[in-house]
Structure 1
């Protein structure tokens, strides 16, 4: 990745809650990948795969807790992962029936 590369301004709507000029492609890579996999489209997906390696994307999929179920299932099959390898499928409560 080129050191001067940034998130394209056309993707600003996918990052409605942050200033994209403040996002660092390395430091915030998990957040960026997660957001674009969840909210993006074909053009953002193309950019993700041009910007990050497949291993980096797979790592983000594995450690992300914020992937939607639909998104998580797609990438689980794409990368041939087990649920146990993905944090987003983790247990929400260790005490069934108890409401927090």
Structure 2
């Protein structure tokens, strides 16, 4: 993994629910990657790809259940993944016919 820097202060709008100074990019990598993939902009994604390896980002994309549908639909194209390889597209615990 490349040299890990602190999360930049100007990213605070993306981490409104945590204290930015408490985020450790090495320890909280999954949370940071998920949040920036879902909510980030061009600037934050540039930092994300400089900070974490492609393999680590791909692993989060494949195993996360916290990606928005929009995010989950975009990144497989970038990483050449299939929906079957992504946990967020797995089966739901609630079946549609059991809703009512």
Name the CA distance, whole Å, in 2 between partners of 1:18 and 1:85.
30
Query: 2:3 maps to what in 1?
Result: 2
Alpha carbon RMSD of aligned pairs, Å?
1.6
In the TM superposition, structure 1's runs of 4+ consecutive aligned residues that sit over 3 Å from their partners are: none
* Higher share in helix: 2
Name the CA distance, whole Å, in 1 between partners of 2:64 and 2:28.
12
Name the CA distance, whole Å, in 1 between partners of 2:91 and 2:20.
32
Which one has more relative contact order, counting CA pairs under 8 Å at least 6 apart?
A: 2
How many equivalent residue pairs?
A: 99
The TM-score, its normalising length taken from structure 1, stands at: 0.90
The TM-score, its normalising length taken from structure 2, stands at: 0.90
Name the CA distance, whole Å, in 1 between partners of 2:65 and 2:95.
20
User: Does structure 1 residue 11 correspond to structure 2 residue 7?
Assistant: no
- Give the unaligned 5+ runs of structure 2: none
